[in-house]
Amino acid sequence: MQRWFEPNLSQPTPNPRVVLITGATSGIGRATALLLVALGHQVAAIGRREDRLQALVDESADLLGTLLPLVGDVTDAASMLYCVGETVASFGRLDVLIANAGLGQRGPLVEAEWQDIEDVLQTNVVGVLHSIRAAVPAMRASGGGHIITISSVVGPVPTPNAATYSASKAAVDSLAQSLRMELKTDGIWVTNVLVGQTHTEFATQRRGRSGKVASKLPTMTPEQVASRLAQTIERRRRTITLRPLDRLIVFGGRFFPRWMDRLMYRIYR
């Protein structure tokens, strides 16, 4: 039987989609873009680093689907409208948005640089809003679609010393829930994915304090997350928490909040 972290690349998707993914130059976004192209989808890959996009083009050259590299900044509404416009111009439609671009921040809130706080909110909240607002008209014109928001376990279970980041992901959780109801009549479904600790450039790009966080917790690879995102495209689920460990954390936060506060403090102080 196929395990969740082993995508079956010998079986291309019977239902190729046009997918726009933000934050495709690194980590989860990069692995997802490559996997989706390998499975036969048409993928618009968005990021600010042009050299990374060129590397993606080279890596995907022999794969089944098509990759369209687009330099774009999620914090800029006009940039996201441009990316959606180019996607539709190239592929004729837009079926799936994966709003993945994100930035972390670590350290006590009061001592943090204001610019770092603003960058996190601009990327993780405003960036998701710009991505969705640009994508929805194109999805409506395509007869429907699927928005996948990339949140974190720390959205429903916030940690100390990452208040802005946790709040930004809680905002994504709320947005996904509202929009699932709001866009239903347009045939647009919204799935929110709660990701747990994954080995990417996230920790090195993170603003504020450097160094490892929660080093005792097991870490996923971006490829493992990508394989679940590839499955998610095929299904209409509300919220997906990828690993049993992360489901346990979310369950604990909901039903044993005091105990989880103590545990989170010990892990993240």
Ligand X SMILES: NC(=O)c1ccc[n+]([C@@H]2O[C@H](COP(=O)([O-])OP(=O)(O)OC[C@H]3O[C@@H](n4cnc5c(N)ncnc54)[C@H](OP(=O)(O)O)[C@@H]3O)[C@@H](O)[C@H]2O)c1
Give the whole-angstrom CA distance, residue 48 versus residue 69: 10
| Nearest Cα residue to 177 out of 208, 149, 213 | 149
Q: How far is the CB of 198 from ligand X (least distance, A)?
A: 4
CA dist 168 and 186 (Å) reads 26
**Is residue 156 classed as helix, strand or coil in its secondary structure?**
coil
Q: In terms of CB distance, is 23 or 65 closer to ligand X? A: 23
Catalytic residue list contains 165: yes
Contact 105, 164 (CB under 8 A): yes
Q: Which residue, 144 or 163, is less far from ligand X as judged by CB?
A: 163
Report d(CA 172, CA 163) in Å as an integer: 14
Q: What's the closest the beta carbon of residue 79 comes to ligand X, in angstroms?
A: 8
Closest contact distance (angstroms) between CB of 81 and ligand X is 14
What residues pair up with 246 in beta bridges, in sequence order?
A: none
- Residue of 23, 224, 140 whose CA lies nearest to 43: 23
> Residue 234 CB, nearest distance to ligand X (Å)?
20
| Min CB(213)–ligand X separation in Å | 9
Nearer to ligand X, 7 or 127 (CB): 127
- Residues forming contacts to ligand X in the complex (CB under 6 A) are 22-29, 46-49, 52, 72-75, 100-103, 123, 127, 150, 152, 195, 197-198, 200-202, 205
Cα end-to-end distance, the chain, whole Å: 41
Order the strands of the 42-47 sheet from edge to edge. 66-71, 42-47, 18-22, 96-99, 145-152, 188-195, 239-241
Q: Of 82, 165, 265, 268, which residue is the catalytic one?
A: 165
Q: CB 104 → ligand X: shortest distance, Å? A: 6
| Residues recorded for the chain | 269
Per-residue tokens: 208: 């504020």
| Spatial separation of the C-alpha atoms in residues 61 and 161, rounded to whole Å | 42
Distance CA 267, CA 120 (A): 22
Catalytic residues: 165
